[in-house]
Chain A
Amino acid sequence: MKLAVLSCIHGNYEALITVLDDVEEQKVDQIYCLGDLVGYGPYPNEVAALVRSLDIPTVQGCWDEDIVDGLNACDCSYPSLLAEKRGKAAHVWTDKIIHPEIREYLAQLPKVIKKDQLAFTHGSPQSQHEYLLPELDGFLALERVLSTGADVLFCGHTHVPYVRTLDEGSLKFSVQTDSSKAIAAKQEFTTSIKQIINAGSVGEPRHGRPNATYIIYDTDADQVTMREVEYDYKKTCAAIIEQGLPKIFAWRLAKGMEFAERADDPTHLCERGV
């Protein structure tokens, strides 16, 4: 079975329709979406409506959650004060134009979708706001996968695609309940191979090029393909400026990077949702 996994569309309708064309060419059996349908981009209603109309199983992203519950930023939401200021401006704009039925749709999205030995989430299984960066301590990354009961965890949120294979995990531990007696002397905890697959971003890529990224996963061959798709990003950039959103969103979309605001602290762990 061939799966396409899309994430972080961020109101970029042009990128979404181009990626969906590419998905069709790849002859996939099923599409999954990892949320953040809205935020930053100029077409949140159109993007969410299209994803909903195609019946794509979708999890709730951090932006989707904030549009439903109100802005409740935690330390991990924004990597800098500047980013937070711009993020809040985008939130206010999105909140104003979002249709009630789209808000309802975003509200009922689950945090995690589990399908056989695959799990799909936006940031991490414990919080839509937590970044599973490729440099995150391996044991913590392993814990996030195991918490879902899956072998493969698909996530987004970082906007940069990667495949991380966690192998040969073993941990020796002992438990003692008083000064003299070990009740669980030298136990060993081992795991089979687990994977974290980050789908990157359709609508706001940050891998250094403006092209949309997404993942194709072949469940039979256990094969991952990272797709990079060119689209007319200038159209979206023009719409961002036209709608009065912060101009830097257009700038970084054209560059495929975040300007001085990369969320790049792999030691930071989210305190929400645990």
Chain B
Amino acid sequence: MHWAILSGIEGNLEAYEAVLRDVHRQTPTVTDLFILGDLIDGTPEGNVVVERIRHPKKGELVPQVCKGAWEEQCLIVRGLAVEPEENLFVLEKGGFVLRQLWDNVPREMVQWFSRLHFGFAELDCLLVHGSSLGVFEKLTPDLSPLILLDRLARTGSNRLFCGRSGQTFKYQVAKAKLAATVTTLDSVEEEQNYDVGDRLIIGVGNVGRQPKEATYTLYNPETDKLIFRTVRYGKTAGFR
């Protein structure tokens, strides 16, 4: 079992093709391809990525796709999803993006987005675009370890893969200890001990945002081996 986990193609078909070629070259063979959302970038040209994902070529893996922020925002624009109280995506991109999505993303494509999962729970791993809390939340390694533990606790998994930040990172909680006592009204005192070990939050990188350089993640759930791949494409192509 060998997974390739991508996120944030953002309408960049050239980058996606380059990553697919790199995935195809891997040994051992990649058995599952996950795409953690942000397929589009709101431009008409960017929509071709969706068609490419929906119709893989013969012999290619069929991608397992979940919703990203761009897809969720498409649903919100069309009234198919509830807007969060504070929409960080619109704050970040600007209000014009709403009109862009309305004009440029076909209704049929939005319907396809509406059928996408929030994420995937597989073999003690949760794979989502944002976090276990929502698609718009950005998990980064500089967040408090307790916030990251909270997001892990919400998953019921020990491995959380996310793509919203665009970064590749492996954040490992190696060991955590806490002692607590609870006293109730009837003066009953209960002692509590908490031990946490080996929890991972993984940022899987971003395929399309940075020109000529795509990042993605390879993961083996049986051995827990994790590899971050950087794929250079275009005129200065090369691999690292």
Contacts and interface: CB of A to CB of B under 8 A. Distances in A.
Contacts of B137: 274
Choose among B134, B137, B170 the residue with the greatest number of A CB atoms under 10 Å from its CB.
Answer: B170
B153 A174 contact: no
B207 to A, nearest CB: 16
A168 B193 CA distance: 10
A274 B151 CA distance: 11
Contact of A161 (B153, B170, B185): B185
B133 A271 contact: yes
Nearest to A213: B185
B228 A179 contact: yes
B174 interface: yes
A243 interface: no
B144 A146 contact: yes
A150 interface: no
A178 B228 contact: yes
Contacts of B171: 173-175
Interface residues of B, number: 40
A175 B179 CA distance: 25
Interface string A160-200: 11111111111111111111000110100100000000001
B176 interface: yes
A171 B175 contact: yes
A170 B170 CA distance: 20
A38 B19 CA distance: 57
Contact of B167 (A138, A163, A177, A186): A177
Contact of B176 (A161, A171, A176): A171
- Which 6 residue pairs of A and B lie closest in terms of their CB atoms, listed nearest first? A143-B146, A171-B176, A138-B194, A138-B178, A176-B170, A175-B141
7 contacts: A134-B182, A137-B153, A139-B150, A165-B181, A168-B177, A169-B178, A178-B230
